[in-house]
Amino acid sequence: MRIVSQSVPQVSRNRARVPFAKKPGKRGLRFRDLAELALQEKQNHGIKESSLRADRLRLGVLDPLVGNLKIARLKSRTFSHALSDIASRRELTPASFNRYHALVSSICACGVREGLLDVNPMADGRVQRRHEMRIHVRYLERHEQSQLLAALKRDRPEKVDEVELAILTGMRRGEQFHARWSDWKRKESVLYVTGKTGPREVRINRAAGRCLARMRRRTRPEQVFITPERNVSPVDRRLWFERAVKRAALASKFRWHDLRHTFCSRLVAAGVPLLEVQQLAGHASYATTLRYAHLSPDHRRKAVEKVRF
């Protein structure tokens, strides 16, 4: 009998499916092989690089538990035990647990599509997803903003402009951290960034423009990135921000991403239509923007007054 190689084939970008003749034999195929096939399929369908990296990190956690198992032995209880073990050891939030669940399910679904699995063992409902709490929109009140900036001025005054810029533009941290000076178009009042949702335009108002101008004056001409640390390392370390939050003694936990919530919340409170908020924030989904709808001043009263008899 001819020996079939166990290596995972490269999936052609011009075909939605891999020809069965080039697939590894089912007898020798293991979960890690199936995972590589599924990730190749995702890549061919244009998955974002950041999502692909996240999937590979999760697979690194899954591999010691299920990576070497032959696909014929994959059962729902196999994944149930593996995911429960990971959740316990890593103290996963329900949202993080569900990301692992979705990854395993997508890998098995790929196996079904390619004729390597008869059924998706994650599809019978025995491995249940976990209930995610509703996302709480945390934003800075005006007095909290004063406390935070005062703490920064005492310890890291050069970082005040970075925080102000985040509040004034609503950039995601990754977008701001990787933004380049060459992508700031001063005359057009635009900063071109790339992040979670891909490339987009960030509108720069006058106050944000003044922040950038002050930062530029402190930056050496040869530096490429707007955030000083990015010119030294691709790793974003924000210990200075966490220390400032602690010293500001804010009422509840506050993260960098909440500066973005602050931007969106203030737009809505100022009466900016939600569709414009979505565009300014770069939300991929309108449902994300709707989280701020309740902050619109008297939005229900004004809406009902539009009804005429």
The CATH number for 65's domain is 1.10.150.130
**Is the domain of 151 the same as that of 293?**
yes
**Is the domain of 154 the same as that of 282?**
yes
Structural domains counted in the chain = 2
**Is the domain of 105 the same as that of 149?**
no
pLDDT at 250: 87
Residue 290 lies in a domain: yes
Residues spanned by the domain of 77: 20-113
Give the count of beta carbons closer than 10 Å to the beta carbon of residue 272.
15
pLDDT at 25: 57
**Is the domain of 149 the same as that of 288?**
yes
Residue 123 lies in a domain: no
Residue 162 lies in a domain: yes
Residue 9 lies in a domain: no
Q: Which residues of the chain have pLDDT under 70?
A: 1-27, 133-135, 297-304, 306
pLDDT at 18: 41
**Is the domain of 98 the same as that of 199?**
no
**Is the domain of 147 the same as that of 295?**
yes
**Is the domain of 56 the same as that of 191?**
no
- CATH number of the domain encompassing residue 154: 1.10.443.10
pLDDT at 3: 43
**Is the domain of 99 the same as that of 39?**
yes
Residue where one domain finishes, among candidates 69, 96, 113: 113
Residue 14 lies in a domain: no
Residue 250 lies in a domain: yes
**Is the domain of 245 the same as that of 148?**
yes
Residue where one domain finishes, among candidates 113, 128, 152: 113
